Amino acid sequence: MIYRMAGTQVVLLFLSMVFVASGVPVSVHVSGANRMKEALTRNGPISCGIHVNDKFEAYKGGIFNDPGASVPFPFHADHEVTVRGWGVDAYGTEYWIGRNSWGNYWGENGWFRIVMHSGNLGIETDCISRVGLN
């Protein structure tokens, strides 16, 4: 599904997540914006590890951007989120659209947007897609 809103293009995926190969669900590691977009388009929502900081915990809305946040090396996630799609704002800034598990009181009714390509919280580092990319 692609939605267009006043100078904004948003791709939000609502696909069924029932995938089986030889009776066993298949998953694959995905990292980087292009691979994430490909996985989202082909397979639906993906699970991504992030390294949460105080600014993300206090997030109330808008497009989250904290490129200066320290992310441990080697990367280790301390929280998982679901990335459901991506969008581009009126200024050409690409962002991910995700769902958090902290309830509807947090963020944008439990959802968030985070700048793409900037290393924000390591969101493009450690994702899992339910089916391998062909």
Q: Which amino acid is at 42?
A: R
With 0.95 as the threshold, say if the pTM is over it. Answer: no
Share of the chain above pLDDT 90, in %: 57
Bond from prior residue into 72 cis (ω within 30 degrees of 0): no
Number of domains in the chain: 1
Q: What is the CATH number of the domain that holds 44?
A: 3.90.70.10
The answer as to whether 34 is a domain residue is yes
pLDDT at 120 over 90: no
pLDDT digits (tens, 9 = 90+) for 51-97: 899 999 999 999 999 877 766 666 677 899 999 999 999 999 999 99
Provide the CB-side half-sphere exposure for 72 (13 A, CA): 11
Q: What is the DSSP string of 53-108?
A: -HHHHT--SSEE--TTS---SS---SEEEEEEEEEE-TTS-EEEEEE-SS-TTSTB
User: 97 lies in which domain range?
Assistant: 2-14+25-129
In a domain, 19, yes or no: no
Only one residue has tokens 């993300």, namely 56
